[in-house]
């Protein structure tokens, strides 16, 4: 895992999203991490157990919010 991905995933200020990636059959579970301070996003594919991509989406967190059936994880409520 590269340094940007690790720092983004471990950042306490990062927003976490979970959603189904529907371009595969069957759909795959993916996790999105977005750090508003750096603008860096990480897509983690849970089924493949790999970081799919690390990038800076122009639209910021909206990239994850616009995914089909995306759910934002409440970090405090879920204690993550």
pLDDT at 26: 83
**78-75-61 Cα angle (round to 5):** 135
The closest alpha carbon to 44, from 65, 60, 22, 28, belongs to 28
**For residue 23, pLDDT beyond 90:** no
Residue ranges of domains in the chain: 3-73
Instruction: Dump the DSSP string for 3-54.
Output: HHHHHHHH-TT-EEEEEEETTSSS-EEEEEEEETTTTEEEEEETTTTEEEEE
**For residue 80, pLDDT beyond 70:** no
Residue pair 13/36 in contact (Cβ under 8 Å)? The answer is yes
24-57: per-residue pLDDT in tens?
Answer: 888 889 999 999 999 999 999 988 889 989 999 9
Q: What is the pTM of this model?
A: 0.87
pLDDT at 68: 84
**For residue 58, pLDDT beyond 70:** yes
């Amino acid at each position: 895992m590269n340094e940007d991905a690790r720092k983004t995933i471990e950042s306490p200020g990062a927003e976490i999203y979970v959603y189904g990636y529907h371009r595969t059959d069957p759909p795959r579970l993916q996790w999105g991490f977005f750090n508003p301070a750096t603008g860096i996003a990480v897509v983690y594919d849970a089924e493949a157990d790999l970081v799919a991509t690390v990038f800076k989406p122009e639209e910021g967190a909206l990239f994850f919010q616009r995914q089909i059936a995306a759910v934002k994880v409440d970090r405090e409520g879920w204690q993550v």
